[in-house]
Chain A
Amino acid sequence: MELTALANGAEQVDSAIVLINGGQVKIVPDSSTMKFSVFVPPTPGYIPRNDPNRQILTISVVRTDGTPIPKRDVALALVAAENTAGHLHSGNPPKPAGFLNGAATAQVNTGPTGIIHTVTFEAPEPSGPVTINGTSTGATPGSATVNVGLFTLSPYGPGAGYTLIGGDTHGGKHPGNHYATASHISALQRLAGSYNVRFHSGLQYNDASLQFGGLFDYAWETTPWNLPHAGHREGMHRDLRIYADTVNHLPGLSGAQLRHMKKYWKDALGGTIHLETDHWHLVHP
């Protein structure tokens, strides 16, 4: 015998005695970690890139015994944790948190089975924890946190033949700016070693990636959560100062020095180089 009842404001269909004492929203991501998304618009000077990263969330409202309650409306919203993953700036505007079914929030219904696996979470461009909050009338709210980032990058510390710069600029809001892949770091070390032996001076390496990669909005004061660092997200991009540093009275590099670096980086190491206004942008996986 099938009964129909109203439980917590929602029509409940059950097959036995209806025993609904509130409920709890359950949000279960397919994975608790995921890589960030990358979007680079077709801006002059950059190669456009549209590389979303998505996963599916399982949504339900469950009774105290854990069984799902059918046909419950659930409101979902996202919050990104500020001051995480290398971004020490917050609130101008809030850190992007990604999308739920293509929007900032989502309204879903748990349907006849009481459990759905149809909500898509699209990771934001910056790394860091993102919490997915769910509410349903009469039920205890629930949440789940997904750590967004690339968790394979290594810090590139001080060493012979180079100086790491850039972490103290722009208010020092991205102090951990020298994370990269092991292969990239090895290539940088070889370049610096070759250059140092030949020219008896060091290179100045600027921004690579943040600790867990993702969008690196070094110019956060003017373009928060946006370019111009289109690359610098996966530990494979690095800036190299080539012009004079008038503040620290350091000379620019000579033609022979530039040619050496170009040849070594591209021919010997297989990397690529682009010009970015006042510096070289080194790319190596």
Chain B
Amino acid sequence: MRRLCLTLLIAVSTTAMAQAPGTQLTVDVTIKSLVLRGDTVGITYTVFNRATSRDSLFDFTVDAPAGVKIISQPLPDTSYMVLDSYHGRPVADWGFLNLLIPSATSIPLYFESVGLPGIVTEWVGGDVPIVEESADTLPDDRLAVNSVQGKTVGVNPWPVDRTSKALIARLRSLTQTSCASPLTWITSATLCTKLIGYLDQAESNRAAGKRTQAKAAMNNYITSLSGKTAGTFASGVTNPGYWLLKPNADIINGIL
């Protein structure tokens, strides 16, 4: 069992000032910790509703394409509500029954799924009042109409091919996506080049049967993401960038 825990430093921002009810808010989604346990990933988030928001936060939803194994019910349950699906779609969903007002940060929100850390869609939305029925009523789909959409780190299903070769290729793709717009979860181009280089070294060594050298390259990859002290990230690494790439690198190191 591996256990990965670090305090967040950088947040993911989801911003919108659209006119649809429930979307006048800017929320920072932060990964507090990501734990690997066997084939399962457990993630703890906090959300911060910025002071500039006009809406209080009612819903925070994270897509869960691998399904939800566990979602913790925060207490008291008269203030929080969790769901593991939305209209039949697997999601990890937290409802703030007393609303999260601007300038407030949520308590930790935890769920776990069987799979690998990956890039998923998240939605935040305010409380939309119930209105009278009318012919021009919009479709009753809160996520599509009354939410602000963004990306965060979640759990994707295990791929069919679980070999180190396939997982290195997957991490290379995730690294490239993290380095590019619109995510830019790795903000340093120099670091991006280094990270891709380490992955290419790991793959070439793996293919040549040089297991020790391959693991060393993966360790260099991990070290490049980490700060000098525990709980910090390297310069140019954001909170989601770290929690996306570091655990996936750990998984590869474990099977090399």
Q: Is B98 an interface residue (CB 8 A)?
A: yes
Asked if B87 and A46 sit within 8 Å, CB to CB, the answer is no
Give the CA-CA distance A13 to B134 in the complex, in Å. Answer: 59
A263 close to B59 (CB less than 8 A): yes
Partner pick for B98 among A255, A264, A272, CB 8 A cutoff: A255
Once A256-B98, A268-B85, A270-B88 are accepted as A-B contacts, the answer to whether A262 and B130 lie under 8 Å apart by CB is yes
Stretch among B75-83, B204-212, B224-232 lining the A interface: B75-83
CB distance from B60 to the nearest CB of A (A): 12
Do A47 and B77 touch across chains, with their CB atoms under 8 A apart?
Answer: no
Partner of B79, one of A46, A256, A270: A256
User: Which residues does chain A contribute within 8 Å of B132, judged by CB atoms?
Assistant: 45, 274-276
- With an 8 A cutoff between CB atoms, is A245 at the interface? no
B83–A268 CB distance below 8 A: yes
Q: A231 — nearest CB in chain B belongs to which residue?
A: B133
Given contacts A47-B135, A266-B142, A260 and B130 within 8 Å (CB-CB)? no
B97 on interface, CB distance cutoff 8 Å: yes
Q: Is the CB of B133 within 8 A of A45?
A: yes
Q: For the complex, is B127 an interface residue (Cβ under 8 Å from A)?
A: yes
- Interface size classification for chain B: 20 to 34
Q: With an 8 A cutoff between CB atoms, is B58 at the interface?
A: yes
Query: Mask for A15-47, Cβ within 8 A of B = 1, else 0?
Result: 000000000000000000000000000101111
A264 near B140 (CB under 8 angstroms)? Answer: no
Contact, CB under 8 Å: B87 / A264: no
Instruction: Indicate whether A267 reaches chain B with its CB closer than 8 angstroms.
Output: yes
- Cα of A266 to Cα of B138 in the assembled complex, Å: 14
In chain B, positions 87-133 with a C-beta closer than 8 Å to chain A are 87-88, 93, 95, 97-99, 127, 129-133
A266 and B130 alpha carbons, distance in the complex (Å): 11
In the assembled complex, how far is the CB of residue A216 from the closest CB belonging to chain B, in whole angstroms? 16
Q: Which residue of B lies closest to A258 (CB)?
A: B130
Contact flag A267-B97 (CB < 8 Å), given A198-B78, A259-B58, A274-B130: no
Query: In the complex the two chains form, is B133's CB within 8 Å of A47's CB?
Result: yes
User: Is there a chain A Cβ closer than 8 Å to B158's Cβ?
Assistant: no
Give complex CA distance A239, B225 in Å.
Answer: 56
A48 at the interface (CB under 8 A from B): yes
Residues of B within 8 Å of A199, CB to CB, are 78
Cβ contacts under 8 Å, A44 to chain B: 134
Contact between A45 and B59 (Cβ–Cβ < 8 Å)? no
Chain B residues positioned under 8 Å from A257 (CB to CB): 97
Asked if B95 contacts A263 (CB within 8 A), the reply is: yes
CA distance A83 to B194 in the complex (A): 84
Please encode chain A, from 232 to 269, with 1 for each CB lying within 8 Å of some chain B CB and 0 for all others: 00000000000000000000000111011011101110
Give the distance in Å from the alpha carbon of A272 to the alpha carbon of B81 in the complex. Answer: 18
Whether A273 is near chain B, meaning CB under 8 Å from some CB there, is yes
Chain B residue numbers with a CB within 8 Å of A46 are: 133
CA distance A99 to B29 in the complex (A): 61
Residues in A whose Cβ lies below 8 Å from that of B87 = 267, 270
Q: How far does the Cβ of B55 sit from chain A's closest Cβ, in whole Å?
A: 13
| Residues in B whose Cβ lies below 8 Å from that of A281 | 133
Q: Does A280 contact B (CB under 8 A)?
A: yes
Contact A47 B134 (CB under 8 A): yes
Could you list 20 further interchain pairs (A-B, Cβ under 8 angstroms) beyond the known A45-B134, A47-B133, A48-B135? A42-B135, A45-B132, A46-B133, A259-B95, A259-B97, A260-B81, A263-B83, A266-B140, A266-B142, A267-B86, A267-B87, A268-B85, A270-B88, A274-B130, A274-B131, A274-B133, A275-B131, A275-B132, A276-B132, A280-B130
List A residues at the B interface (Cβ < 8 Å).
42, 44-48, 197-199, 255-257, 259-260, 262-264, 266-268, 270, 272-276, 280-281
Closest 7 A-B residue pairs measured CB to CB? A256-B97, A274-B133, A275-B130, A272-B140, A263-B95, A45-B132, A259-B97
25 CB contacts below 8 A, A to B, read A47-B133, A47-B135, A48-B135, A197-B77, A255-B97, A256-B97, A259-B97, A259-B127, A260-B95, A263-B59, A263-B83, A264-B81, A266-B142, A267-B87, A267-B93, A268-B83, A272-B140, A273-B130, A274-B131, A275-B129, A275-B132, A276-B132, A276-B133, A280-B130, A281-B133
